[in-house]
């Protein structure tokens, strides 16, 4: 039987997104213009992105929520995005992990205040894939799940998934680089697909991949090469608002400039990296060439910028590519 589908497992979080008029200095006031709730966390965001892209295969979300009102909101928002709660565990006497996302209206930049909640007590048995027919197992994210972070648990879950013949993918979150440097390298030999942003790449590899605000394309190449040297099995990719670089174990390089999204159309950047990963995984699942995977990843990320929440503005994959064609791509710098 041909395996089909992606299981996305790990830390699910309720995002409470506040659109603020400016980022304040300490001991001063900023005004919240509006607040939106969104089911979040890397596996939820990428799963919702795949649903929005109209992925032509099963998409399964796994995670743990509490038994509070935030859990009700999370489950409702997740269902509204086309995902089932069948594989979400609701843990008694616990509160749902949540993040207060402060998004500055003028520039779309965001700052996160995270309350770990139930994710602090996650165990490997809760995260192992339960759909034995799926092709890809995606896991996120080290550094925000205390019990999983203490020991070899992240690597162990991925190792078990590989033994069950899944293609494995790891997602990170932009923690302090010293935390990434300590937690991530031991996990990489169990990771087939590793997609990271510039901040995460620098934390894991110790290579600077930006030149001021811009992507240093050659440095990003070196970071991809370093990720493979550290154990990533099949493909490593680094993405940035300027574009993305990817390298396969066989030596194939691809550079992909980002879509030229007008600043006036950017409502928020939260979830753009997850949208990128969703587009990339759709292409990988379908056996597309590496360049096509990156093109869809960039296009999905571009459409995600049109809303304050993580995935509500992502379009079906054909429309994402059409949008990218209409807007054009950024120039190499």
Q: pTM value?
A: 0.92
Architecture of domain 6-12+41-96+119-327: 3-Layer(aba) Sandwich (3.40)
pLDDT tens column, 217-239: 999 999 999 999 999 999 999 99
pLDDT > 70: what percent of the chain? Answer: 99
Sign of the Cα torsion 71, 84, 76, 129 reads positive
**How much is the pLDDT for 1?**
66
Average pLDDT, the chain: 94
pLDDT tens per residue, range 275-304 = 999 999 999 999 999 999 999 999 999 999
pLDDT tens sequence across 155-209: 999 999 999 999 999 999 989 999 999 999 999 999 999 999 999 999 999 999 9
Cα(60)–Cα(292) distance, integer angstroms: 24
Task: Name which of 77, 5, 90, 84 is nearest 41 in CA terms.
Answer: 77
| Region 122-140 average pLDDT | 95
**pLDDT score of 275:** 96
pLDDT at 270: 76
Residue ranges covered by each domain of the chain: 6-12+41-96+119-327
The pLDDT tens digits of the residues spanning 55-70 come to 999 999 999 999 999 9
Whether 332 and 257 have beta carbons less than 8 Å apart is answered as yes
pLDDT for res 65: 97
Q: Is the pLDDT of residue 312 over 90?
A: no
Query: pLDDT class for 305, splitting at 50, 70, 90?
Result: very high
pLDDT at 82: 93
């Amino acid at each position: 039987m041909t395996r089909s589908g992606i299981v996305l497992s790990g830390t699910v979080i309720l995002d409470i997104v506040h659109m603020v008029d400016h980022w304040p200095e300490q001991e001063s006031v900023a005004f919240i213009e509006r607040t939106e709730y969104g089911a979040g966390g890397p596996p939820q965001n990428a799963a919702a992105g795949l649903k929005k892209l109209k992925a032509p295969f099963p998409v399964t979300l796994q995670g743990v929520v509490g038994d509070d009102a935030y859990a009700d909101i999370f489950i409702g928002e997740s269902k509204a995005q086309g995902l089932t709660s069948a594989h979400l565990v609701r843990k008694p006497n616990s509160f749902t992990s949540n993040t207060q996302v402060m998004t500055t209206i003028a520039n779309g930049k965001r700052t996160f205040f995270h309350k770990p909640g139930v994710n602090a007590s996650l165990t490997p048995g809760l995260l192992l894939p339960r759909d034995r027919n799926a092709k890809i197992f995606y896991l996120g994210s080290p550094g925000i799940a205390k019990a999983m972070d203490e020991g070899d648990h992240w690597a162990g879950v991925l190792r078990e998934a590989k033994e069950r013949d899944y293609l494995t993918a790891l997602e990170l979150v932009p923690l302090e680089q010293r935390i990434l440097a300590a937690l991530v390298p031991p996990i990489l030999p169990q990771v087939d697909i590793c997609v990271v942003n510039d901040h995460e790449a620098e934390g894991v590899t110790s290579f600077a991949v930006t030149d001021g605000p811009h992507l240093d394309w050659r440095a990003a190449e070196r970071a991809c090469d370093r990720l493979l040297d550290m154990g990533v099995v099949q493909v490593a990719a680094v993405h940035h608002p300027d574009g993305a670089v990817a390298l396969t174990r066989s030596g194939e390089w691809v550079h992909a400039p980002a879509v030229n999204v007008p600043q006036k159309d950017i409502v928020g950047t939260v979830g753009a990296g997850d949208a990128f990963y969703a587009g990339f995984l759709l292409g990988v699942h379908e056996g597309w060439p590496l360049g096509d995977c990156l093109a869809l990843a960039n296009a999905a990320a571009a459409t995600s910028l049109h809303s304050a929440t993580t995935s509500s503005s992502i379009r079906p994959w054909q429309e994402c590519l059409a949008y990218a064609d209409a807007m054009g791509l950024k120039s190499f710098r």
